[in-house]
Amino acid sequence: MSMTTDNSLLALFLELIAIDGVSGNEKAVADYIIQFLTELGLKPYTDDSTAVTGCNTGNVICKVNGGGDFVLLCHMDTARPTKDVNPVFLEDRITSDGATVLGVDDRAGMSALLFALKKAITSNIPVRPLTLVFTTCEETTLLGSQSLALDPEIKSGFVFDSYLPAGSFVNESCGAVTLFITIFGKASHSGIAPEKGINAIQIATEALSKFPFGRINADTTANIGIIRGGTATNVVPEKVELEGEIRSKDPVIVEKEAAVIKRTFEEAAALYGGKVDVDIRWDFKPYYISPQDAEYQRLQEVMPRLGLEAKPCASWGGSDANSLNAKGIKTINLGTGAQNPHSNDEFILLADLENSARIAFELIKK
């Protein structure tokens, strides 16, 4: 164990990972946070996002010294259960025993924020006016942050939720749309009267032969990941459902490629006399925080003071930072060192756990 790692930080992290809270079932985690913040003399509350998310709790929000003009955020849910997690301490890291995930994504971020705030308040160190948010459903839909309503005074934010090492940060992220494609053919007996049927799988095959699988260009990818269809080997399939995605740093390219894909499926359906419905939905929008932006410059000031390299990075995944940027709140996703996320060999270096808390402390204090 690192001799410099604060034992109370480790204890907090261990308490948090022991609370099972997969997406949609974060109430126990929310209850813990509310009690923790209440004991610090704050007034946390949950919002009404459950009407959108279907979760058993809302996002937890806590205004500190009036709420200020910036937000610090992390998410409460884990992608997989942490029930019965058995943390293992190695010389430089914490991992699980391999039977479950460790829960470091995003309990490391939660630990950093809660520990830093408690340290400041209990040490009588002045705290900047700010808003803390702990979201639901990040791992599945981002609906918690997408349905989050913050005060109009909030102009910037920092999310503690990247697998990158502490010090590195995501200032650029792709956006993604999901493609829901339903092909309608006509059922018929495949042996007695195949001519009377319209094969929905044949239509899908025609369109998929022209689908731009993989990397379209340096900034854009596309994929079909789910196909459902058919009822029996002796029935001409009348319906096929496909789900896929397009990701890009450029929203214009996403819209363009989605339009091409839609037209390709419509032409294939027309060729064989079928019909198609293509539903295109944005999951999250891309964002870019430039070196000239105040949030970027703030990190360039903070990291060197802590002996860390302020390293900007691009991401091909979505996070709550995408949701906040889409709301006009310039937000950067900070590395917490949550390595191998979502797998049973998930781990965090003790140095990253400590440094994340140090970064949070620098952002919190006046």
Residue-wise DSSP of 342-357: TSTT-EEEHHHHHHHH
Q: What is the pLDDT of residue 100?
A: 95
The 3-state DSSP class for residue 226 equals: strand
In terms of domains, do 273 and 290 share one? no
User: What's this model's pTM, rounded to 2 decimal places?
Assistant: 0.92
In terms of domains, do 76 and 158 share one? yes
Domain of residue 181, CATH code: 3.30.70.360
- Assess contact for 17 and 348: CB atoms under 8 A: no
Query: How far apart are alpha carbons 54 and 188 in whole angstroms?
Result: 40
Phi, psi of 221 (to 5 degrees): -130, 160
Q: What is the pLDDT of residue 3?
A: 33
In terms of domains, do 221 and 162 share one? no
- Assess contact for 32 and 16: CB atoms under 8 A: yes
Total residues belonging to the chain: 366
Q: What is the pLDDT of residue 269?
A: 98
The 3-state DSSP class for residue 197 equals: coil
In terms of domains, do 44 and 134 share one? yes
In terms of domains, do 16 and 143 share one? yes
Show the tokens assigned to 26: 């974060």
Query: How far apart are alpha carbons 72 and 320 in whole angstroms?
Result: 11
In terms of domains, do 276 and 312 share one? no
CB atoms within 10 A of CB 59: 29
Q: What is the pLDDT of residue 6?
A: 76
Q: Is the dihedral of CA 346, 350, 355, 357 positive or negative?
A: positive
**Average pLDDT for runs of 10 along the chain of length 366:** 66 97 98 98 97 97 98 97 95 94 96 97 96 97 96 97 97 97 98 97 98 95 97 98 97 96 98 98 96 97 96 96 98 96 94 97 96
In terms of domains, do 112 and 261 share one? no
In terms of domains, do 46 and 150 share one? yes
Total structural domains within the chain: 2
- Assess contact for 313 and 171: CB atoms under 8 A: yes
Domain of residue 350, CATH code: 3.40.630.10
Q: Report yes or no on 63 lying in a domain.
A: yes
Q: What is the pLDDT of residue 204?
A: 98
Q: Report yes or no on 2 lying in a domain.
A: no
In terms of domains, do 35 and 131 share one? yes
Four-CA torsion 22, 28, 31, 37, nearest 10 degrees:
-60
In terms of domains, do 133 and 223 share one? no
| Range(s) of the domain holding residue 251 | 175-284
Among 284, 309, 329, identify where a domain stops: 284
In terms of domains, do 170 and 181 share one? no
Bridge partners, 71 (sequence order): 131, 157
